[in-house]
Copies of this chain bind each other. A is one copy, B any other.
Amino acid sequence: MSFPPRYRAKSRVDLSGEESRAKAVAVATELFATAGFKGTSVAAVAARTGLSQSGLLHHFPSKAALLAAVLEERDREDGDFLTGTTTPPLGWAAFDSLTALVARNSTRPHLVGLFVRLAAEGTEPSHPAHAWVQQHYASMRTWLAEAVRTGQKSGEIAADAPVETLVRTTIAVIDGLQQQWLLQPEDVAMAAEFEAFTDTLRARWSTVDAG
């Protein structure tokens, strides 16, 4: 999609620096999600944002910097979402928050697609998103491990529940369901499947009989 020059010129003067930056992040999120990181050019992001290429590079010195901003924005939003409902993380309630996050993700196929592809590409140490991917998983593990330990202390999760395994497996189920859901959005009820998984965990590791 391209705009006549006068519309581009108009948006160049109308947007403040902060607005331009936010718009560029939104545009980049969409382009990375649909065309991939490698398939998206800085020029394309600049054009859709309504900025010159040098104007965009003023905010983000490289495509990798733009990617970092996109991913940080996603983590900030998800972090707000998760911690907004459980501060500090509290036992099984953290798993309910994750179910809610999965339900929310099932309304955002582009963002989930971006994440799944970048997480996979970012397993390569040379990829620009590698550090972010490592950090993303580390944060998720830390948050969820703390939630499980809190639940053990309060007595709702069995003291002998293997924390590391619960954490790793729960994150794996979220990731793996996203992969299947992207392939068959109509057939995979991501949130319901994840909730069924958390029910299995509760049946196994809850100290209260789940019946």
Contacts and interface: CB of A to CB of B under 8 A. Distances in A.
Nearest to A35: B124
Contact of A176 (B38, B113, B175): B175
A117 B113 CA distance: 12
A179 interface: yes
Contacts of A177: 168-169, 172
Interface in A139-196: 162, 165, 168-169, 171-177, 179-180, 182-183, 188, 193, 196
A53 B60 CA distance: 40
Contacts of A113: 123-124
B180 A171 contact: yes
Q: What copy number does this chain have within its complex?
A: 2
Nearest to A195: B165
Interface string A28-62: 00000000101000000000000000000000000
Interface string A113-143: 1001101110110000000011001000000
A183 B137 contact: yes
Interface stretch (A16-24, A71-79, A90-98, A199-207): A199-207
